[in-house]
Amino acid sequence: MKDFLRQLLTGVDGNISSKRTITLVSFVLVSIAFVSNIFFDLPLKEYVFLGMLGFTASGLGFTTLDHFNKK
């Protein structure tokens, strides 16, 4: 599991990427918010959820650009 996370967070240059780390954390938080809103009936403001969803999507986009912009 530790090797899988390290491989998941490793950037193109072989170091742990802060963009990938922040994107993974925001994805986990969006997933927790979604599950808690559906199953535990905890109210969540729509603009908070959409803001975090946009943050996650932009992080994935920037990570994808790094992949295709190899030196």
DSSP category for residue 13: T
Write out the chain's pLDDT in tens, 71 residues. Answer: 888 888 888 877 788 888 888 888 888 888 888 888 889 888 888 888 888 888 888 888 887 777 777 65
Kindly provide the b/e burial profile for residues 61-70, where b requires at least 16 CB atoms within 10 angstroms of the residue's own CB. eebeeeeeee
CA nearest 63: which of 13, 5, 29, 1? 13
pTM for the predicted model, two decimal places: 0.71
Give how many domains the chain has, as a whole number. Answer: 1
Orientation angle between helical segments 46-68 and 18-39, nearest 10 degrees? 150
58: domain range?
Answer: 2-68
